Amino acid sequence: MLTNRYKSAMQFAATVHDGHLRKGTQVAYLSHLMSVSALVMENGGNEDEAIAALLHDAIEDRGNGYASPFLVEPRTGREALKRDIELQFGTDVLSIVRRCTDDEYLPAGRASEKGSPEEWKVRKSAFLASLRKKTDVAPLRVSCADKLHNARAILADYETEGERLWQRFNVKSKSEQLWYYDGLADAFTERSLALGDAGLQRLARQLAATVEAIGRHRPES
């Protein structure tokens, strides 16, 4: 049963992601967050996990420009956003969101390095390594739901856009994107089996199948 906390999280996510669009589209980013939250709930997640799914990209994508409505220092930036998430939704939600933020796993001093292909590879490699060490189902479920929805969107857009699709990403190589998604599918599959969670296992199977479909897909010219 969802409570008013979930309604508050929906409003908070809509505010934080106001004006934010899905990459390469005119689709409101909130649609992705709602879809991920739905996948979490449909696959065994509790309310904290469903709320974290709504907020899973807040720190990484919107933290630097965040301005807190509260008259407490710090008033802006990532640390203010983390504090506000914790104040409004609790320590457990903040913990899940932080563990779904891939640049939280970069070596010290590299958290802002997201531009070049080399920096992208470092960031994604660090995140993949972190997944294989996780022993808590909650952040794995939210993260796997996120990657599954992304992969499904890639496959659907690949049908219509063909190879132009890869130009929307910071790293525009299909092989590099598939390297990352193959690694995600392997990590989530291994963790889901080790932890014995049926919902996570279902998400991991769906992710693996979607990534395989992207790899073998030949879009119409």
Taking only the tens place, the pLDDT of each residue in 90-126 is 999 999 999 998 766 655 444 444 568 888 999 999 9
CA angle, 139 then 154 then 14, to 5°: 55
Q: Which residues neighbour 160 within 8 Å (Cβ) at sequence distance 6 or greater? A: none
Residue 162's SS3 state is helix
- pLDDT for the residue 90: 98
Beta bridge partners, 21, equal: 28
Based on C-alpha coordinates, what's the Rg of the chain? 17
Determine, yes or no, domain membership for 67.
yes
Determine, yes or no, domain membership for 168.
yes
Give burial (CB, 10 Å; 0-12/13-18/19+) of 91. Answer: exposed
**Amino acid symbol at 155:** L
Distance CA 120, CA 122 (A): 5
Q: Which residues neighbour 164 within 8 Å (Cβ) at sequence distance 6 or greater? A: none
Determine, yes or no, domain membership for 79.
yes
Sign of CA dihedral 108, 114, 119, 122: positive
Q: Judge whether residue 189 has pLDDT over 90.
A: yes
Determine, yes or no, domain membership for 99.
yes
Look up the domain containing 109 and give its range: 4-216
- pLDDT for the residue 114: 55
> What is the DSSP code (8-state) at residue 59?
I
- pLDDT for the residue 24: 82
> What is the DSSP code (8-state) at residue 107?
P
CA angle, 173 then 170 then 95, to 5°: 115
Determine, yes or no, domain membership for 199.
yes
- Cα distances (angstroms) measured from residue 121 to each of 23, 43, 102, 163: 19, 30, 11, 21
Q: What pTM does this model have?
A: 0.92
CATH number at residue 71: 1.10.3210.10
Number of compact structural domains in the chain: 1
Determine, yes or no, domain membership for 221.
no
Averaged confidence pLDDT in the chain: 92
CA angle, 188 then 191 then 192, to 5°: 80
Determine, yes or no, domain membership for 137.
yes
Report the pLDDT averaged over residues 145-160.
Answer: 96
